[in-house]
Chains A and B, each alone.
With several copies, the nearest count.
Chain A
Amino acid sequence: MTTTLDTTQVKALMGAVADGLIAHKDDLAALDAELGDGDLGRTVERGFIGIKEALAGPLPDDVGRTLFQLGKAFSNAAPSSFGALYGTALMKSGTALKDKMTATLAECADATQAALDALMERGKAQLGDKTMLDAIAPAITAMRAALADNGDDVSTGVFLRAAAAAAQRGADETASMQSKIGRASWQGERSSGKKDPGAQAIAYMFDAAAAHFESQP
C-alpha cells in the first residue's frame, strides 16, 4: 500500500523537527559566525518557536494549508535570510499540497521540488553557490531514488533517512565551494573550506524528520 502522511502526522513531524533544530542552535550559530553574522542559531530558535506556537493553536485540516501557515509563522518569527527562505519553502510546499488531507511520499518529493524552485526564484541563487539549496537538491534526488528502489510502500523512515544522508553529504560538500550569494559572499575566496550554515540546518532538519519516524513502532 502506498505510504501516506496525514495532517496529524505532519504536525507531529514539524514539532519533532522544531525540537531537533532548536537543539542544534549553538552549532549553527558557530558556523554562521565564521561565514556570516552568527545569528542563524537565534533565527532557527525563534523560527521554530514560532512554529511550535502555531502548532499549539488552531490550524487548517489539510496538509497544504497547514504547511503554508507554519511557513508564515516561521518567516514572521525569524525575519533573516534563512527565516525568509525557509518560510517561503514551507509555504510553497503547502501550496503544492493544497486541499490534500493526506499526501503520498511521491507528492512530498514533488512539494519539496516546488519549494526548491521557489527558493531559487526568491533568493536568486544557483546550485553550487554554497547555500541551503546545495543540501535540498540532493535530498530530493535521494527521495526519488528511495521510491524508485523500494516502491511507493517504502517506510517514511527509510524514505527520509535517504534524504537526510544526501542532505548531509550536500552540506559537507559546500565546504569546498566559494560563496556566491548572501552575507558569506562578502568573504570571497576566504569562504572556501567552511561549511555553509544554512545547508547544515537543512541536513539537521531531514535528520530530525527521519529520526522521528525511525523511533515510531
Chain B
Amino acid sequence: MKKILNNPEDYVPEMLAGLLAAHPGRLKSVGGDVHCIVRAESPIEGKVGIVTGGGSGHLPVFLGYVGRGMLDGCAVGDVFASPTIDQMYETTKAVNGGAGVLHLFGNYGGDVMNFAAAADQADMEDSIEVATVLVADDVASAPADRASSRRGVAGMVYAFKIAGALAEEKASLAQVKAIAEHCLANTRSMGVALGPCTVPQVGKPTFTLADDEMEIGMGIHGEQGVRRGKLQTADEIVDQLIQPILDDMPLDGGEISVMLNSLGGTPLEELYIMYRRLLEVLKQHDITVYRPYIGRFATSMEMVGASLTVLKLDDELKRLLDAPASTPFFDQSQYV
C-alpha cells in the first residue's frame, strides 16, 4: 500500500501538526506537546472531563471525538502504540474542571497500564479524582466467560457519545462512569478483514491474506480472528458478523442502534450493500434500527474490511444518543 508521507518517523507529529492547524477554534495541544489534545475551551468548570487515548492510525478514533458532547481530551500515541504516562497525565490535568476525570479507552495492555499510572499520578500530585472504564466490545476476541478481557473496537464511539452527552449535562463523575459502563454492557462488535494496512515506520503489511481470503473477527491491528477462509458474499459476511453478536447479547426484538464501520479501505458503497442485508436479518428477529451510523468511525488506516457494532437501546441511552455533539470529525446532526 502506497502512502503519502515524508519521513515515516515524522508521520504522527506531522499529522497532528496539520490537524491542530486545521481545527484551531476547536482543539488545542497541552504544553506544546501535539500528542496531548484537548477541547479548545478546556478545562470546563464543573464538568467531568472525559479523556481517551491510544495509538494513532485509527482516525477518527481517538482524537476525532474530542469536542462538544463527546470527549474533552485525548493522549495520542505513535501508530498502533500507546501514548506515554506523561502524555496521559498532562491531558488529564488539562481537562480537569474540578468535577473529576473519566478515563475511557480500549482494553489494550499498554494503554491500560499507562493510564493506571497516569491516574495514580493525577491523584497523588494534583488530587484529581479519576475513574476508569475500559471498552471491551469485540466478541471475537474472547468468549463470554472472559468478556472483560476482550479488545476494544468501534463500540467505543457509542461510549464516547453516551458518556459525553451526560457529562455535558454536568452529571457527576459517578454518574458518567455508570452510564459509560451501562452503555458498554449493551454494546457488542464484530469485524471482518479483507486486507492489511502498513504501519509507516514498519513499511510492510501487518498481515497477509491470500487474494481470495478474508478473516472473520480479526482485530484492528491484525490480531487473529475466529476464522480465516474464502472470501464470501456481502450477505454471508453480514450473517457472520451479526450472529455472534446476537448469541452473546440476546435480543428479543426491541430497538438497537447499529454502527457499520469501514476499517478504512472499504468504500461506503459496500457498507450500504451490507446494511441492506443487515436489515433483512434484523427483521427476522423483530429488531428495529434506530439511528444507523454508517461510515468510517474507527479505522486502521487503509485496512480493507468492516465492523458491525450493536447498541441495545433503552430510553436513557436513546435520549443521550440523540443529544447534540459536534467535533471536527463527527456531528450528530448528520445522523437523523
The residue on A at minimum CB distance from B114 is: A84
In the complex, whether A81 has a CB less than 8 A from a CB of chain B is yes
Q: How far is the CB of A177 from chain B (nearest CB, A)?
A: 16
Chain A residues close to B by CB (< 8 Å): 36-39, 42-43, 75-77, 79-81, 83-85, 88, 122-123, 181-183, 185-188, 190
In the complex, whether B100 has a CB less than 8 A from a CB of chain A is no
Q: A79-B81, A84-B113, A181-B149 are in contact. List 16 more A-B contacts (CB 8 A).
A: A36-B223, A37-B80, A38-B202, A38-B206, A39-B81, A42-B202, A75-B117, A77-B84, A81-B108, A81-B109, A83-B82, A85-B113, A183-B108, A183-B223, A186-B141, A186-B151
Q: Can you list 20 A-B contacts (CB < 8 A)?
A: A37-B221, A39-B80, A39-B81, A42-B201, A75-B114, A79-B77, A79-B82, A79-B83, A79-B114, A80-B81, A80-B110, A81-B108, A81-B109, A81-B113, A83-B82, A84-B114, A88-B113, A181-B109, A183-B223, A185-B142
A76 in complex: contacting residue of B86, B142, B221, B223, CB < 8 Å: B86
Contacts of B116 in A (CB 8 A): 122
A186 near B219 with CB under 8 A, answer yes
B85 near A122 with CB under 8 A, answer no
A190 near B224 with CB under 8 A, answer yes
Contacts of B98 in A (CB 8 A): none
Contacts of B150 in A (CB 8 A): 186
Q: Which 4 A-B pairs have the closest CB atoms?
A: A81-B109, A84-B113, A80-B110, A79-B82
In the complex, whether B222 has a CB less than 8 A from a CB of chain A is yes
Contacts of A190 in B (CB 8 A): 224
Chain B residues close to A by CB (< 8 Å): 77-78, 80-86, 108-110, 113-114, 116-117, 141-143, 146, 149-151, 201-202, 206, 219, 221-224
Tell me if B's interface is mostly helix, strand, loop or mixed.
loop
The residue on B at minimum CB distance from A190 is: B224
A84 in complex: contacting residue of B85, B219, B224, CB < 8 Å: B85
Q: How far is the CB of A134 from chain B (nearest CB, A)?
A: 16
Expressed in whole angstroms, the Cα–Cα distance for A187 and B219 within the complex equals 11
Contacts of B109 in A (CB 8 A): 80-81, 84, 123, 181-183
Number of A-B pairs, beta carbon distance below 8 Å: 77
Expressed in whole angstroms, the Cα–Cα distance for A186 and B206 within the complex equals 17
A37 near B222 with CB under 8 A, answer yes
Decide yes or no: A186 and B142 within 8 Å by CB, A75-B84, A79-B84 being known contacts. Answer: yes
Contacts of A38 in B (CB 8 A): 202, 206
Q: Most chain-A Cβ atoms within 10 A of its Cβ — which of B109, B141, B219? A: B109
B201 near A84 with CB under 8 A, answer no
Q: How far is the CB of A13 from chain B (nearest CB, A)?
A: 25
Expressed in whole angstroms, the Cα–Cα distance for A140 and B151 within the complex equals 33
B84 near A76 with CB under 8 A, answer yes
Contacts of A36 in B (CB 8 A): 223
B224 in complex: contacting residue of A75, A76, A80, A186, CB < 8 Å: A186
Contacts of A76 in B (CB 8 A): 84-86
B84 near A186 with CB under 8 A, answer no
Expressed in whole angstroms, the Cα–Cα distance for A53 and B151 within the complex equals 34
Contacts of B110 in A (CB 8 A): 79-81, 83-84
Contacts of B113 in A (CB 8 A): 81, 84-85, 88, 122-123
A84 near B82 with CB under 8 A, answer yes
The residue on A at minimum CB distance from B53 is: A79
Q: How far is the CB of B93 from chain A (nearest CB, A)?
A: 16
The residue on B at minimum CB distance from A29 is: B202
Contacts of A188 in B (CB 8 A): 142-143
B224 near A187 with CB under 8 A, answer yes
Q: How far is the CB of B92 from chain A (nearest CB, A)?
A: 15
B82 near A80 with CB under 8 A, answer yes
Expressed in whole angstroms, the Cα–Cα distance for A51 and B82 within the complex equals 18
Decide yes or no: A79 and B85 within 8 Å by CB, A88-B113, A88-B117 being known contacts. Answer: yes
Q: Most chain-B Cβ atoms within 10 A of its Cβ — which of A38, A39, A43, A188? A: A39
A186 near B223 with CB under 8 A, answer yes
Q: How far is the CB of A128 from chain B (nearest CB, A)?
A: 16
Expressed in whole angstroms, the Cα–Cα distance for A58 and B4 within the complex equals 40
Expressed in whole angstroms, the Cα–Cα distance for A102 and B268 within the complex equals 53
Expressed in whole angstroms, the Cα–Cα distance for A188 and B140 within the complex equals 11
Q: How far is the CB of B35 from chain A (nearest CB, A)?
A: 10
Q: How far is the CB of B49 from chain A (nearest CB, A)?
A: 21
Contacts of A122 in B (CB 8 A): 113, 116-117
